[in-house]
Amino acid sequence: MKKLTLNRRRFIGTTAMAGAALASPAYLRRAAAQGSGEVNIWTYNDFVPESFKEQFEAETGIKVNIRLVDDQGKQFNLLAAEQPNPTVDIMTVAGHRFLQFIDSELLAPLDTDRLSNWGNINPTFSESDWATINGEKWGAPILSGMEVLAYNTELVSQEEAMTWDTLFSEKYSGQTAYIIQDMMSIVMLMMGYDGNMVAYMDDPAKAAAIVEEAKQFLIEKKPLVRKYYDSGAEVQQMFVNQDIALGHSWNGPAAALINDGFPLGMTIPNEGSYGFVYTYNVANNAPNVDNAYTFLDAILASPEIGAAMTKASGFISTYKDASNYLTDLEKKSTSFPEEQLANLQFFRAEANEMKYGLVDPAVEAVKAA
């Protein structure tokens, strides 16, 4: 009998296909009735599993056009420039950036009654406080991520990786990397402040002083860092090339490396860190609204699809029971011990206008220094 060998890629493909096939009857029949067309999606790399996309297109006749984004700000600007006639139907907005998009009338409220599979999302994400704004839902949570300290396990011990201080230590001078904007929030947290700045909404002077302190800290530590980076792919490449021994990272890119067998570990350090949730959102004035809802309902259809998204992106699925379809290694790379999770808090949006009004110039100052 021929031995059946499943490599990772094939396994992902198989599970996603199986998931999509299981989920297909309900949504596919509706979609077929609606006829063909297209749906335009702006999203991050690997957030739409390729096998799901292929099957969705084949069975609904709706062509899925994906434009990759790597930054929430760029996405905001693109959409703002295109309104009131955007080319996009579905975008991928982080939950803590909702307010900005909503205030600029870039998002349409999500009609969850049109999503028969809405209940497949873990209520921790779909019903949390940030998910409802002005009495409306604005996005379907798909993946959850967090800011972690990633480290090469052959060069850095887990004990060292339990504090952000190691990232700024002389011992690893020239072997670290981070995203400055994200580190500003983390440095504030390290210093014992509220990195969301919600606590200082009534005291802008104090907020400015805190941002200034964090900025000075990062300028002082600038000689120790190897690279300020922007995208997950960059930090993965630096780890693989052994250009860095440790760095701040989103858990997704780090988990993807772990799943590929790279000697990488990640922690939520004792000082704490921030989490965020990516959501699929329907753009205001979207040109293919019906197709957008067909796509959303399809991608929410089964935990297997959520697991496939986790396997491909490394971020944690928001779907109920998605972890049942992960291997032990994948489960390990997308989960954290309880005591570390206790240090995690989610990014919040309430003070964003004040926060980023202070943080953005500070980031430029750190880069320029």
Partner 1 sequence: MTYDASVRKDSDGLSRATGDRPFWGRLAGWGPYRAFAALVTASPRRQFVILATFPILWLLTQHLGPMLQMLRVSLVDAYPVAQDAPQAFTFDNYLRFFGDRIFWMPFFRTLTFAAVFTFCTLIITYPVAYFLARHVSRRNQMLMLLLLLIPFWVGEIVRTYAIMILLGNTGAVNLVLKWFGFIDRPIPFMYTSFSMGIGIVYLTALYMLLPLYSALEKLPKSYNEAAADLGAGAWTRFRRVTLPLTLEGISSGCTLVFLISTGFYATPVLLGGPSTTVFAETIAGFFHVAGDEWPTGAAFAVIMFVAALLITGVFQRLMKALRKGDTA
Residue with token string 């949006």: 349
Beta carbon of residue 355, minimum distance to partner 1 (angstroms, whole number)? 12
Q: How far is CA 236 from the centre of its chain?
A: 15
Select from 163-171, 220-228, 286-294, 304-312 the region that touches partner 1 (CB under 8 A).
220-228
Q: Which two tokens stand for residue 365?
A: 């100052």
Dihedral of CA 130/135/139/143: which sign? Answer: positive
Beta carbon of residue 366, minimum distance to partner 1 (angstroms, whole number)? 9
| Phi, psi (degrees; rounded to nearest 5) at 273 | -160, 180
Beta carbon of residue 320, minimum distance to partner 1 (angstroms, whole number)? 32
Contacts (CB under 8 A) with partner 1, residues 242-301: 242-243
Per-residue contact track with partner 1, 303 to 322, x per CB under 8 A? --------------------
Beta carbon of residue 167, minimum distance to partner 1 (angstroms, whole number)? 14
Question: Taking CB under 8 A as the rule, does residue 339 contact partner 1?
Answer: no
Beta carbon of residue 367, minimum distance to partner 1 (angstroms, whole number)? 4
Among 11, 118, 228, 346, binds partner 1 (CB under 8 A): 228
The secondary structure of the chain, three-state, reads CCCCCCCHHHHHHHHHHHHHHHHHHHHHHHHHHHCCEEEEEEECCCCCCHHHHHHHHHHHCEEEEEEECCCHHHHHHHHHHHCCCCCCCEEEEEHHHHHHHHHCCCECCCCHHHCCCHHHECHHHHCCHHHEECCEECCEEEEEEEEEEEEECCCCCCCHHHCHHHHHCHHHCCCEEECHHHHHHHHHHHCCCCCCCHHHCCCHHHHHHHHHHHHHHHHHCHHHCCEECCCHHHHHHHHHCCCCCEEEEEHHHHHHHHHCCCCEEEECCCCCEEEEEEEEEEECCCCCHHHHHHHHHHHCCCHHHHHHHHHHHCCEECECCHHHHCCHHHHHHCCCCHHHHCCEEECCCCCHHHHHHHHHHHHHHHHHC
Select from 98-106, 120-128, 184-192, 288-296 the region that touches partner 1 (CB under 8 A).
98-106
Strands (E), 153-255: 176-178, 227-228, 246-250
Beta carbon of residue 317, minimum distance to partner 1 (angstroms, whole number)? 26
Beta carbon of residue 100, minimum distance to partner 1 (angstroms, whole number)? 6
Question: Taking CB under 8 A as the rule, does residue 4 contact partner 1?
Answer: no
By C-beta, is 114 or 226 nearer to partner 1? 226
Question: Taking CB under 8 A as the rule, does residue 230 contact partner 1?
Answer: yes
By C-beta, is 53 or 97 nearer to partner 1? 97
Question: Taking CB under 8 A as the rule, does residue 227 contact partner 1?
Answer: yes
HSE, CB side, 13 Å, CA atoms: give it for residue 254. Answer: 28
* 178/89 Cα distance (integer angstroms): 32
Question: Taking CB under 8 A as the rule, does residue 213 contact partner 1?
Answer: no
Among 165, 213, 220, 364, binds partner 1 (CB under 8 A): 364
Among 63, 114, 226, 320, binds partner 1 (CB under 8 A): 226
Select from 54-62, 66-74, 299-307, 340-348 the region that touches partner 1 (CB under 8 A).
66-74
Beta carbon of residue 46, minimum distance to partner 1 (angstroms, whole number)? 20
Among 74, 171, 331, 332, binds partner 1 (CB under 8 A): 74
Question: Taking CB under 8 A as the rule, does residue 96 contact partner 1?
Answer: no
Beta carbon of residue 80, minimum distance to partner 1 (angstroms, whole number)? 4
Question: Taking CB under 8 A as the rule, does residue 100 contact partner 1?
Answer: yes
Question: Taking CB under 8 A as the rule, does residue 365 contact partner 1?
Answer: yes
Among 241, 261, 328, 338, binds partner 1 (CB under 8 A): 241
Q: List residues near partner 1 by CB under 8 A.
A: 71-77, 80-81, 83-84, 97, 100, 104-105, 174, 222, 225-228, 230, 237, 241-243, 356, 360-361, 363-365, 367-369
